[in-house]
Amino acid sequence: MSGAQARLLGRWGEALVAEDLRGKGWEILASGWRCRFGEVDLIARRGGVLAFVEVKLRSGDFAAPREFVDARKQQKLRTTASFYLAEHPSELQPRFDVAEVYAPQGMETRRPKIRYVENAF
């Protein structure tokens, strides 16, 4: 899979998760928010929570997607989130979530499954 195909697939997964979150009453504040420290796939709020969401899409089940959010990636997300909060001050309680999208046939998957892990790290 080329880099462009992987990015397209990743954006597709992020869009699925954003749609799922909206259906559960979340407001999506940003998608693919970038700064010099990194990128956060989705930033959403609901009630008193501001969620920084890492979306992981996998076609196989050799490991849970959340297992790919290792300590290095977690630190990068924390730093990026801190920069976002410096630019967008908020009274909301921040947390880090992981959305796992299982799509065995990629974008051709008829019913991708989403598993949402709150407070993943």
Q: How confident is the model over 60-118, as pLDDT tens digits?
A: 666 665 677 889 999 999 999 999 999 999 999 999 999 999 999 989 999 999 999 99
Q: What is the pLDDT of residue 2?
A: 78
Residue 69: per-residue pLDDT = 87
Do the beta carbons of residue 28 and residue 75 sit within 8 Å? no
Domain ranges, residue 44 = 10-117
pLDDT at 68: 75
Instruction: List alpha helices for 3-120, DSSP H.
Output: 3-23, 71-87
Cα distances from 117 to residues 1, 35, 51, 109, in angstroms, run 27, 24, 11, 22
**In the numeric block, which tokens belong to residue 11?**
């954006």
pTM more than 0.85: yes
Instruction: Please report, for the domain that includes residue 96, its CATH number.
Output: 3.40.1350.10
Is residue 93 in a domain? yes
Reading phi first (left if > 0) and then psi (alpha if -120 to 50, else beta), residue 109 is in beta
With respect to residue 4, please indicate whether it lies within any of the assigned structural domains: no
3 within some domain: no
Q: What is the pLDDT of residue 66?
A: 63
Q: In what order do the strands lie in the sheet with 27-35?
A: 27-35, 38-46, 49-58, 93-102, 113-117
Count of structural domains, the chain: 1
Of residues 17 and 104, more confidently modeled: 17
Let me know if residue 5 belongs to a domain.
no
Asked whether residue 2 is assigned to any structural domain, the reply reads no
